[in-house]
Structure 1
Amino acid sequence: MNSPIPLPWQRTARGANLLAPDGALGVTIFEEMTTLALQTGAINLGQGFPDEDGPVEIKAAAQAAIAAGANQYAPGKGILELREAISLHQERFYGLEPDPHTEIIVTTGATEAIAASLLALVGPGDEVLTFEPFYDSYGAIIGLSGARHVTAPLLAPDFMPDLAALEAAFSSRTKVVLVNNPHNPTGAVFPREVLERVVELAIRHDAVIITDEVYEHLTFGARHIPVAALPGAAERTLTISSAGKTFSFTGWKIGWLSGPEHLVAAARTVKQFLSYSSGTPFQSAIAAGLGLPDEFYVGIADTLQLKRDILSEGLRAAGLDVFTPQGTYFVNVDTAPLGITDAVDLARRLPALVGVAAIPVPVFCHPEGAERTRSLLRFAFCKRIDVLQEAAERLATLRDVL
């Protein structure tokens, strides 16, 4: 049904819901790039998911759970085994000790945790502050809540915020500050002083902090600092993460949320009417995964750093300015050195030009931010090394075919 009245998510989720050339409602740039990659045989470095599975012991644990009959609804807040494993993980890496009975819930991926938290905490008249560019689902969920989406810019080349601009973005209506760290799509890892400033401003404005930390173990020489570990933050912070990025099982959709009991309870109240529960056999498998030794966590970051460097070499050979990420599995480039200032147009031509698909950064922004990032492209390097080597070779020919 075509409607002249914008739907709630359309009013604020203007970036990633960029329409395809035919104007089809709901066709995102991600779907469009995937379609173009399939049509042209291009290597798809647009959507951020691995092309190989994670640890065999985690897969074996899931298979064992299925065989043992763990195939019905899990408790709404997740199986206790996984909630206990999440608590131990937070203590092991960050010194945090959330109560697995009252301060942790398991969600259908981090996206549901974000949705449940925002829908529980904000509504019309409230403001939610994020950095910009922002992960595309943020705008859609904020739009569904009826709240206003306010942003503070992250500027190339290091994609750090201007702290004065960050302070100016707060207001008396700021109800939630949503911090994605390590940051998608820029690959930035925020240092302690930036995070401490977020906490100070949240306290001043009595705002809740929601942190999306799904790339917490995917950093390169930069230390991930959870906001909840900073002075004054724990009592107002909901921490969100997931298994998909750390263990390369994005299709299992196992995420979690932890924080003060009253905030977790509010999110759980909404979550029960979203999915109630999901992935019962996968939950126990991820519990086993969270107990893997330190060597595993070091190894996945080291491997990703190698992949980052392989792809970056091809991007530099193409004549692009490469902004080396400190985390996640995305690298951003500026197309301006090639005389190209419209990254959306180039993204649509790139699969046919060199056989590689990417995502334009403007789709992660509101209009003003889109103008500021209009020449930037994002590439995912969470693929096999041989695939990235082939993509690097293809990209190196870009300046010759423009």
Structure 2
Amino acid sequence: MPVTLNRFLQAARPSATYEVMDRVAARRAEGASIISLSSGEPDFDTPPHVSEAGIAAIKAGHTRYTQVAGLQQLREAAAEKFQRENGLQVDWRNTLVSRGGKQVIFNALAATLNEGDQVIVPAPYWVSYPEIVQLCGGEPVIVPCTAHSNFKLTAEALEAVIGPRTRWLILNSPSNPSGAVYSREELEALGQVLLRHEHVMVLSDDIYEHLIFDDLEFFTLAQVTPLLAERVLTMNGVSKAYAMTGWRIGYATGPAWLIKAMEKLQGQQTSGPCTISQRAALAALTGPKDFIRLSRVIFQQRRDQVLKWLADAPGLRCEVPQGAFYVFACCAELLGKVTPKGTVLRSDEDVVNALLDEADVALVHGSAFGLGPYIRIAYALNDDSLHQACDAIVRFCCALRSA
């Protein structure tokens, strides 16, 4: 008897970023020297005091199960972080620690969505948002947010798309892949719309909170519109701010009923996160913050250098990202051109495939993030590698010919 997969899983697409990473690994196994600007993780080592806390946890025998929702000490530290940095009046009991930010999102949507429920996802979006919605039985409602609105959802666009089956809005600031950052005024305008629609929850993905440039100030929705606090799940993690992607720790705060439901689901899914990682995350949240300030300066310098280098690439147009570590470059003028090896570029996916095959540079196509024709360039690498990669991109663009 043939095995039938879950229909939601059958309809879901694999992660585009991990597909690129697999292609890079295959090319490298063949001996190719690939510079990968496809992965969304800092190239820095985890801060020493954080790694040492993980080692100390092993030596102290902290290698057993914890509570499903995470160590109380870590939940208290997460609550203190939300209070101190975001002005949220949070009790540690209304927090949850999960195995990465992705599990936080999955828990929230799986705990609340029924078939036919809709989730508003502004595009460009992180590749996993619509797929997680679909896996949970919901329907992603994609709202294109072009360069004309600085890749951000406007109050008017939000009002126009909310319907009776709308269950969630997902907001990501700073944004992956565009680097867009919502101002206080923009969030307040969205908040006013949401106050009129009491059936809509908001998932505020703040994972890139500390990677914000040009002296901009970070704001989150529950902070600027406190009346919405009981309908907002604010999530964060240690992956980006502390270069801890492999430690897999995300955390969130929200209304008690939702946190309880997410804890119930997590208890039947993975239980508590890795004890060692939790001890390291505790050191990150309670320890010195010099690493965050330094990495922010370095990433802003890298952003400026990449924009300068790519300005010489004919056919690419780059907006200036305000945060995260991505440049989201429009490649519309490259379409229809032919590469030196004879490949006709008909889509942004063709562009990134040709860059990998012919220029040994790995990127991710913008259509995977819901908005094409763009390419996402992650500048989370050292300066020499970034310069080499940008030079290769420029040479690639210069070598294109008309069909």
State TM-score, norm by structure 1: 0.89
Preserved CA contact (<8 Å) 2:355 2:393: no
Q: Aligned residue for 1:321?
A: 317
Between the aligned residues of both structures, percent identity stands at 30
- Change beyond 3 A, Cα 1:397–1:37: farther
User: 1:85: which partner in 2?
Assistant: 77
Q: Distance in 1 between matches of 2:256 and 2:291?
A: 31
Counterpart CA distance in 2 for 1:161 and 1:390 is 35
Kept in 2, the 8 Å contact 1:33–1:46? The answer is: no
In structure 1, the residue matched to 2:97 is: 106
Q: How does 1:66-81 map to 2 (within 5 A)?
A: 66-81=58-73
* Partners of 2:291 and 2:96 in 1: CA distance: 25
**How far off its partner does 1:310 sit?**
2.2
1:63 aligned to 2:58?
Answer: no
Select between 190-199 and 278-287 the one with higher mean Cα deviation. 190-199
Asked if 1:332 corresponds to 2:337, the answer is: no
Query: What secondary structure sits across from 1:392 in the alignment?
Result: helix
The alignment status of 1:287 with 2:282, answered yes or no, reads: yes
* Alpha-carbon spacing, 1:164–1:30, altered in 2? closer, same or farther (3 Å): farther
AA aligned to 1:8 is: F
Q: Is the 1:333–1:378 Cα contact (8 Å) retained in structure 2?
A: yes
Residue of structure 2 in register with 1:378 after alignment: 376
Contact 1:15–1:364 under 8 Å retained in 2:
no
Q: Which moved more, 1:106-115 or 1:85-94?
A: 85-94
Aligned to 1:368: none
Is the counterpart of residue 348 in structure 1 residue 339 in structure 2? no
- Give the Cα separation in 2 of the matches to 1:175 and 1:339: 38
Aligned to 1:393: 391
Q: Is the Cα–Cα contact under 8 Å of residues 14 and 139 in structure 1 kept in the other structure? A: no
1:240 aligned partner, one-letter code = M
Is the contact made by 2:363 and 2:375 (CA closer than 8 Å) also made in structure 1?
Answer: yes
Q: Does 1:310 align with 2:293?
A: no
**1:225 alignment partner in structure 2:** 219
What residue in structure 2 maps to residue 23 of structure 1? none
In the alignment, structure 1 residue 191 sits paired with structure 2 residue 183: yes
| Separation of aligned partners in 2, 1:43 and 1:192 | 37
* C-alpha distance in structure 1 between counterparts of 2:121 and 2:64, whole Å: 37
Q: 1:114–1:5: structure 2 CA closer, same or farther, 3 Å change rule?
A: closer
The reply on whether 1:268 has 2:266 as its aligned counterpart is no
- Describe the SS at the equivalent of 1:396: helix
The whole-number CA distance in structure 2 between the counterparts of 1:6 and 1:343 is 31
* TM-score, structure 2 normalization: 0.89
Distance 2:141 2:242 in 1: 32
Letter in 2 for 1:186: S
Identify if the C-alpha distance between structure 1 residues 3 and 140 changes in structure 2 by more than 3 Å, giving closer, same or farther.
farther
Q: Return the alpha-carbon distance in structure 1 between the equivalents of residues 23 and 2 of structure 2.
A: 21
- C-alpha change, 1:5 and 1:105, in structure 2 (3 Å) is closer
Q: In 1, distance between residues paired with 2:154 and 2:191?
A: 15
| C-alpha distance in 1 between matches for 2:83 and 2:48 | 25
Unaligned stretches of 5+ in structure 1?
Answer: 19-26, 366-372
Q: How much does 1:14 deviate?
A: 5.0
In structure 2, the CA distance between the partners of 1:191 and 1:272, relative to structure 1 (3 Å rule), is same
Answer yes or no: is the 8 Å Cα contact 2:212–2:322 preserved in 1: yes
Q: CA deviation at 1:108?
A: 0.4
Q: Distance in 2 between matches of 1:36 and 1:227?
A: 43
Tell me the residue number matched to 1:168.
Answer: 160
- Shift in Å, 1:165: 2.2
User: In structure 2, what is the Cα distance between the partners aligned to 1:176 and 1:9?
Assistant: 21
Corresponding residue for residue 231 of structure 2: 236
How many residues are matched? 385
Cα deviation for residue 225 of structure 1 reads 0.7
Q: Decide whether the 8 Å contact of 1:336 with 1:375 is kept in 2.
A: yes
- Aligned-partner SS, 1:317: coil
Counterpart AA for 1:7: R
1:215 paired to 2:208: yes
Give 2:219's aligned amino acid. I
User: Residues 186 and 260 of structure 1: is their aligned pair in 2 closer, same or farther, counting only changes over 3 Å?
Assistant: same
| Structure 2: tracts of 5 or more residues without a match | 337-345
